[in-house]
Amino acid sequence: MIKKWIGAARLRTLPLSLSGIILASFLAVAGNKFDLLIFIFAVLTTVGFQVISNFANDYGDGVKGTDNKDRIGPERAIQSGDITPLQMKKAIIISTVLTLIVALILIYISFGRENFWYSLLFFVLGIASIAAAIKYTVGRNAYGYYGMGDLFVFLFFGLLSVCGTYFLYFKSIDLTVFLPASSIGLLSTGVLNLNNMRDAASDIKAGKNTLVVKIGNVAAKRYHYFLLTGAFIFALIYVGLHYHSVFQFMFVIAFIPIFLHLKTVYTNKFPEDLDPELKKLALSTLLFAVLFGLGQIF
């Protein structure tokens, strides 16, 4: 049974969700503001958010019938019958409670008692993150079914993940941090767009109107090029503004597989062939976060 729950948690999605935390933590190291406890609890909180999201996605698509035999990707837990909808619903509740506890510890470690308004702000952001994770596919007005998933991924995986973690360390924000945060957000949105291109046919049948379904495959490919090249440009601008070492350009290495991936997307004719690209793009995003961060401390 444990193996089934590990599968439902989809731990392979964690590298993508951790990328923003890692990048912001490297910036904290560069600014002599790094705190190991903040890093540990930020990671645990992010893992919690991701697990909630994956459970909720499985539940929402499962009970709506979106996950069916037409779907190309890996079989989901409710779809396979390994986990019942009621069991998944309970798992979402338990995961939410545990994640909130960890998030509160993180907030206290970072702000203590003397920064009440900062603590309140981050508590609200934590609630918003959980709500966004659940409402992606759950409920009548699930925003993932109306083409809004891309915006939320950009905001939560990119801007909130990087800038929020940066603020936990620094207790202030440098507006230029929004540049690498946007890079992470665009790359993460690229992963979602790739997933939606793969699943477009089954999503149309299930009435899931993702952005890909709305704009069509040709436009979705162009959109994909925009997302990934935009991520590269934002990173370059940040380095230009904060240049101090040639090592800051190490992140370009991560874009070698990303641009090769773009060629694959450009020539793709069969949606099922996009499935292996999801892992490649997610891991390339993690590599970008690490190399970009290392470049700031050398």
Question: What are the extents of the domains in the chain?
Answer: 2-297
pLDDT the model gives residue 283: 96
Rounded Cα distance between 277 and 261, Å, is 7
pLDDT the model gives residue 67: 66
Residue burial 107-144, b: 16+ Cβ < 10 Å; e: rest: beebbeeeeeebbeebeebbeebbebbbbbbbeeebeb
For the stretch 153-168, pLDDT in tens is 999 999 999 999 999 9
pLDDT the model gives residue 240: 97
Rounded Cα distance between 144 and 169, Å, is 32
Rounded Cα distance between 274 and 179, Å, is 28
For the stretch 171-187, pLDDT in tens is 999 999 999 999 999 99
Residues of the chain with pLDDT under 50: none
Q: Give the number of C-alpha atoms closer than 13 A to the C-alpha of residue 287, restricted to the C-beta side.
A: 15
Q: Which DSSP symbol is given to 81?
A: T
pLDDT the model gives residue 70: 65
pLDDT the model gives residue 2: 81
pLDDT the model gives residue 63: 84
How far, CA to CA in Å, does 204 sit from each of 99, 115, 197, 200? 34, 48, 11, 6
CB 43 within 8 A of CB 18: yes
